[in-house]
Amino acid sequence: MTREVLVKVNETNLSYFEDLGYEVHIGEKLPIPVEFLSVGSHHPISCQCDGCGVVKQVIFKNYVRYGNKWGYYYCRKCSEHKRKRTLNMNYGVDYPIQNKHIKKKIKNTIKQNKSK
């Protein structure tokens, strides 16, 4: 996985990098660790799928939002298999709607919303 990215300092991120302790000027390119990127950063990073091992380029904000809640990253293909395996282990079904408890909860919610 990418450990460092080159970021161009501009008016919007100048104070952020100064708060981190960097002495920077506008227009300067700064190598920073990925951990210091803001959560909404659009910088592409390389990361390896923990399922199949394929290395992919991913926008950092998407990596944080979808793939790094527990320190693992799965590509789209592997994430589908992982999701089904986890649902089968925990609930014995491939899709949440197949669980009787969830179905009942959905029906109750629909009934409540219709009666309002």
> pLDDT tens digits, residue range 104-115?
999 999 999 888
Q: Quick one: 83 and 62 in the same domain?
A: no
Q: Quick one: 61 and 19 in the same domain?
A: yes
Residues 3 and 96: their CA atoms lie apart, in Å, by 36
Q: Quick one: 9 and 66 in the same domain?
A: yes
Q: Quick one: 65 and 108 in the same domain?
A: no
Q: Quick one: 66 and 87 in the same domain?
A: no
Q: Quick one: 87 and 68 in the same domain?
A: no
Q: Quick one: 93 and 50 in the same domain?
A: no
User: Which of the four pLDDT bands, split at 50, 70 and 90, describes residue 89?
Assistant: very high
What is the per-residue pLDDT for 67?
A: 56
User: Which of the four pLDDT bands, split at 50, 70 and 90, describes residue 29?
Assistant: very high
Q: Quick one: 53 and 11 in the same domain?
A: yes
Residues 104 and 114: their CA atoms lie apart, in Å, by 15
With 0-12 CB in 10 A as exposed, 13-18 as middle and 19+ as buried, what is 47?
buried
Q: Quick one: 28 and 55 in the same domain?
A: yes
- 68-78 burial, b at 16+ Cβ within 10 Å, e below that, comes to eeeeebbbeeb
Residues 66 and 95: their CA atoms lie apart, in Å, by 19
Q: Please give the residue range of the domain that contains residue 84.
A: 78-116
CA torsion, points 25, 28, 32, 37, in degrees to nearest 10? 80
Q: Quick one: 15 and 49 in the same domain?
A: yes
